[in-house]
Amino acid sequence: KPKVDSCQMASPQSPVILTQDELKKIAAYKAVEFVESGMVLGLGTGSTACHAVARIGELLQQGKLKNIVGIPTSKKTHEQAVSVGIPLSDLDNYPVLDLAIDGADEVDPYLNLVKGRGGSLLREKMVEGACKKFVVIVDETKLVKHLGGSGLAMPVEIVPFCWKFTLERLRMMFVDAGCVAKLRRFSENGEPFVTDNGNYIIDLYFEKDIGDLKVASDEILRLAGVVEHGMFLDMATTLIVAGELGVTVKNK
Ligand code: 5RP
């Protein structure tokens, strides 16, 4: 069982109504408390992680953090990190990172995650897999009992070559779970969404439980045409959840 350490910000007697973005920011700021000068940091992607990147930049500018090296998980995060003054490098130069901070789309009670609804799952998995500590930051809407059970997408990054073939193979793989598979497209022009790595994303939606996650993960990865999927199993070491009643830190 994960250890829980909670710090109350509000109580049922004095409720504070916060927006989802404010909750994301609270979780992100809490995670940045784990950052120490001299660390090599994995910088996550998304609307939650961007608060952490902004905060790290702010602390660097104030001189409260020094000698930080950031390893961004997407081109977007790279741009943001440059704009807030975080010195950057990559996994080739730093194959072992001290800490990564990133958001997630779903988190189960064992700290398994679904990531990649923002499309950066491959780089996120590479960077976060190289970290000694991986701190996940979410607002409480991301908590689920079972991965794939929120009715939202489970992303799979695939090569563009014959994508319809790969989509159909993925759908058939989970036919018993009532899987619907869709190519991710830009809503504006209907063109396929292209990842930072030049690949496509298939979003899988499940009507039923997909069963053993490790088995599902291995099966997806065995399919030629698949590059990576958005299940992050047994990777997170710490979970920070911000909700209306406070922020909770769980360590694995
Ligand atoms: C991007 C991701 C994001 O971390 C995930 O989608 C959560 O995003 P947000 O913080 O915007 O809710 O995996 O690939």
The ipTM value here is 0.98
Residue 186 has pLDDT above 90, yes or no: yes
Residue 76 has pLDDT above 50, yes or no: yes
Q: Is the CB of 72 under 6 A from ligand 1?
A: no
Question: What per-residue confidence (pLDDT) applies to 16?
Answer: 67
Question: What per-residue confidence (pLDDT) applies to 6?
Answer: 43
Ligand 1 closest atom vs CA 137: 10
As a whole number, the mean pLDDT across the chain is: 94
Residues 91-142 have pLDDT tens digits of 999 999 999 999 999 999 999 999 999 999 999 999 999 999 999 999 999 9
Gyration radius from the chain CA atoms: 18
Instruction: Place 188 in a pLDDT band, splitting at 50, 70 and 90.
Output: confident
Residues 34-71 have pLDDT tens digits of 999 999 999 999 999 999 999 999 999 999 999 999 99
Q: Is the CB of 44 under 6 A from ligand 1?
A: yes
Interacting residues of 17 by C-beta distance below 8 A, sequence separation 6+ = 244
Number of alpha carbons in the 13 Å side-chain half-sphere of residue 102: 40
To test ligand 1's pocket by mutation, which of 48, 137, 139 has the most ligand atoms within 8 angstroms of CB?
Answer: 48
Q: Residue type at 176? A: D
Question: What per-residue confidence (pLDDT) applies to 14?
Answer: 58
Residue 79 has pLDDT above 70, yes or no: yes
CA separation for the pair 81, 25 (Å, rounded): 16
Question: What per-residue confidence (pLDDT) applies to 17?
Answer: 83
Q: Is the CB of 104 under 6 A from ligand 1?
A: yes
Please answer whether residues 137 and 115 qualify as being in contact, where contact means their C-beta atoms are separated by less than 8 angstroms: no
**Dihedral angle computed from the Cα positions of residues 185, 140, 121 and 235, in that order, rounded to the nearest 10 degrees:** -160
Q: Is the CB of 121 under 6 A from ligand 1?
A: yes
